[in-house]
Amino acid sequence: MRYTPEQDVQALIDLCQRFGTKRLLEIGCNRGETMLALSERFPDLYMVGVDPGDYVPPLERAPTQFAEYLPAHRVGELVIDRPNVRIYRCRSRQFFAAAFAEPLFDGVFIDGDHRQAAVEHDTRLATRLLRPGGFIAWHDCDNEALGVVHALRALAIPALQVPGTWLAWWRP
């Protein structure tokens, strides 16, 4: 199952091209579909994917995304053999401790847990790991039932919605 529609992936490709992205972090990479499309378009783009898969106990999973929690060994399976990709099979808060081994990122794509508190946490994390002039993009910004829109409002982030997509972005 593909979770990010083609037009949304294309919008992310456009952002990476527009801002000359060399290093991208994806929070919530699942099997790596989006990273695969980006690595095919930008073979020199270094990408880091973070996703805990089923390391998250069932009672702690977002109910609207329950089916998206893959067995951890399948996280990033589409790109794990690519030399420009590194996969962390953990929650974003655990990645933050490991992130200091990684240089700052030019872009961060947030498509993990869509509950408001999780999006707020991932957004704060992204701002700390972002190089000046970089961008943050969020997926599923079209659905008021999910916490993405509410988190952006609570954080007073003036994210720009990409017309015809579920993607919004911002440059701090």
Indicate whether 100 belongs to any domain: yes
User: How far apart are the C-alpha atoms of 42 and 168, rounded to whole Å?
Assistant: 21
| Residue span of the structural domain in which 100 resides | 6-170
Indicate whether 1 belongs to any domain: no
Tens digit of pLDDT per residue, the chain (172 long)? 567 889 999 999 999 999 999 999 999 999 999 999 999 999 999 999 999 998 888 888 888 787 788 899 999 999 999 999 999 999 888 888 776 667 899 999 999 999 999 999 999 999 999 999 999 999 999 877 789 999 999 999 999 999 999 999 999 9
Closest CA to 125 of 150, 146, 97, 101: 97
Q: What share of the chain is helix, strand, coil (3-state, %, to 5)?
A: 40, 20, 40
Indicate whether 98 belongs to any domain: yes
* Exposed / middle / buried, residue 102 (Cβ in 10 Å: 0-12, 13-18, 19+): middle
139 phi and psi angles, rounded to 5 deg: -100, 160
pLDDT at 159: 97
The CATH number of residue 116's host domain is: 3.40.50.150
Indicate whether 93 belongs to any domain: yes
Structural domains of the chain, count: 1
User: How far apart are the C-alpha atoms of 170 and 163, rounded to whole Å?
Assistant: 14
DSSP 117: H
